[in-house]
Amino acid sequence: MSFSELGLHDDLLRAVTAQGYTQPTPIQQKAIPVVLEGRDMLASAQTGTGKTAGFTLPMLQRLAGGKKPGKRQVRALVLTPTRELAAQVGESVSVYGQHLSLRSHIIFGGVGQQPQVDALKAGLDVLVATPGRLLDLHQQGHVDLSSVEILVLDEADRMLDMGFIHDIKRLLRLVPKKRQNLLFSATFSNEIQALAQQLLDNPALIEVAPRNTTAEKILQTVYRVDRDQKRHLLAHLIQQHGWFQVLVFTRTKHGANRLAEQLSKQDIPAMAIHGNKSQGARTRALGAFKSGDLQVLVATDIAARGLDINELPHVVNFDLPNVAEDYVHRIGRTGRAGSNGEAVSLVCVDEHGLLSGIERLIKQNLPKRIEPGFEPDPNAKPEPIENGRRGQQQPRAKRKTDGQGAKADGQRRRARR
Ligand code: AMP
């Protein structure tokens, strides 16, 4: 199956070819015709499956086809949970739409609002935004959403996890009743089903397996190790095997910072990326990591969600995630685009229950190893796990610190109530 067989026009096909894509991915094969038809869609697909092109390409085609004379109005609104995902989707819109005369812009908190206000004033066809900043700008009278024809909620489950449900409901009141709705979510919790019920009209249901949940391309290994030896074992493994571009997951923001510092002290260039970092710091860290200048990126689950980092050779679970599904999301970042990947988990005595939960979910027993020199103490007693994840998932309005921009967002929102 080719992209042209899916009904995409020449201008979009040229952009796709320039990206080097020869064949649509499974989600693209299913989603593109549905979106072109103008139907609502509920899709279960994760980052790495090609879902962004799956909705962006047909959305752009519809917008280009139905263009009206006069001032540009926001006709497509894409909402994302994080700034990084907004930036990535916005980039895709620019790249795929390079031969069309549509204008798009990205709006998120943590950066100055003036360039965003200027872009809105100049007129836009496509707006990619995180909910908080968008509502702030709307409240200040800078955004008109009354001409929206296509609404996309990307990573809707994560938006709900992050406490955006009220923001989403407010935004739904600002767009016209008659519109096309596309909802993407990695999971179908009761909450997502309730949202889908409210949002979607006779949707096409599309499901594709995450590109890498199958173990075949990912070598998964568990190292048993003592809690306080984990960082030494990690440094040892990185140095011994000469690992490069290692994405390391920790459970807490504090843990991410501490680990990045410790690795850097051992001459392993590392930076942390999480919600308390400024937008500039996050962008710099991600850029250095992608370009290969930074050997290790340490991230929390929420910060890592939606990052488009391709063909990552190594993912390390420095801490096992509290939620077993997150293990699948984490390791899904390795071995993209046909290359092999390796996922290593460092597991101490506190985490045996979490490991069993993961093995039940993925229906396989993971191979366990002990690295010579890092043998765990057989008499070690489990301790309760420090639970940073819940803290990160507090609803936005309750969070005390999430970078300057988010703080400013919160203050404005409180003022609004
Ligand atoms: P996404 O799941 O949208 O985050 O996309 C994951 C990665 O796959 C991105 O880097 C895309 O550039 C790439 N990609 C999307 N569609 C294709 C395709 N048809 N062939 C090859 N790579 C693709």
Mutational test site, ligand 1, from 128, 308, 329, 336, max ligand atoms within 8 Å of CB: 308
What pLDDT score was predicted for residue 57? 98
The alpha carbon of 84 is separated from its chain's Cα centroid by a whole number of angstroms, namely 7
The finding on whether 212 has its CB within 6 A of some atom of ligand 1 is: no
Q: What is the whole-number distance in angstroms between the Cα of residue 53 and the centre of ligand 1?
A: 7
Q: Tell me how far apart the terminal alpha carbons of the chain are, to the nearest angstrom.
A: 52
The finding on whether 24 has its CB within 6 A of some atom of ligand 1 is: yes
Q: What is the whole-number distance in angstroms between the Cα of residue 31 and the centre of ligand 1?
A: 14
pLDDT of residue 399 exceeding 50: no
Find the largest Cα–Cα distance for the chain: 75
Specify the ligand 1 atom closest to the Cα of 306: 4
Q: Whose CA is nearest to atom 1 of ligand 1?
A: 50
Of the candidates 305, 284, 333, the residue with the CA atom closest to the CA atom of residue 80: 305
Mutational test site, ligand 1, from 12, 21, 28, 93, max ligand atoms within 8 Å of CB: 21
pLDDT band at 217 (very low <50, low <70, confident <90, very high): low
Specify the ligand 1 atom closest to the Cα of 51: 3
List pLDDT tens digits, range 321-356: 988 888 888 887 776 545 568 899 999 999 999 999
- Domains located in the chain, CATH noted: 4-207 (3.40.50.300), 218-386 (3.40.50.300)
% of the chain beyond a pLDDT of 90: 60
Report the predicted TM-score, pTM, of the whole model to 2 decimal places: 0.61
Q: What is the whole-number distance in angstroms between the Cα of residue 28 and the centre of ligand 1?
A: 10
DSSP string, 242-305: T--SEEEE-SSHHHHHHHHHHHHHTT--EEEE-TTS-HHHHHHHHHHHHHTS-SEEEE-HHHHT
pLDDT of residue 301 exceeding 90: no
Secondary structure element (H or E) that encloses residue 52, with its range: helix 51-65
Q: What is the whole-number distance in angstroms between the Cα of residue 48 and the centre of ligand 1?
A: 6
What pLDDT score was predicted for residue 210? 54
Note whether 102 and 153 are within 8 A (CB): no
Q: How far is it, in rounded angstroms, from Cα 98 to Cα 389?
A: 39
Specify the ligand 1 atom closest to the Cα of 21: 20
Mean pLDDT (the chain) is 86
The finding on whether 100 has its CB within 6 A of some atom of ligand 1 is: no
Question: Of residues 312 and 102, which shows the higher confidence score?
Answer: 102
pLDDT band at 209 (very low <50, low <70, confident <90, very high): low
Note whether 318 and 272 are within 8 A (CB): no
The finding on whether 50 has its CB within 6 A of some atom of ligand 1 is: yes
Specify the ligand 1 atom closest to the Cα of 48: 2
Mutational test site, ligand 1, from 25, 80, 85, max ligand atoms within 8 Å of CB: 25
Of the candidates 349, 307, 350, the residue with the CA atom closest to the CA atom of residue 330: 307
The finding on whether 310 has its CB within 6 A of some atom of ligand 1 is: yes
Query: Strands, DSSP E only, in 240-280?
Result: 246-249, 270-273
Q: Whose CA is nearest to atom 8 of ligand 1?
A: 50
Q: Whose CA is nearest to atom 18 of ligand 1?
A: 21
Mean pLDDT of 70-75: 92
The finding on whether 308 has its CB within 6 A of some atom of ligand 1 is: yes
Specify the ligand 1 atom closest to the Cα of 52: 3
What pLDDT score was predicted for residue 390? 35
pLDDT band at 291 (very low <50, low <70, confident <90, very high): confident
% of the chain beyond a pLDDT of 70: 87
The finding on whether 48 has its CB within 6 A of some atom of ligand 1 is: yes
Q: How far is it, in rounded angstroms, from Cα 290 to Cα 283?
A: 10
What pLDDT score was predicted for residue 414? 36
Beta bridge partners of 76: 126, 150
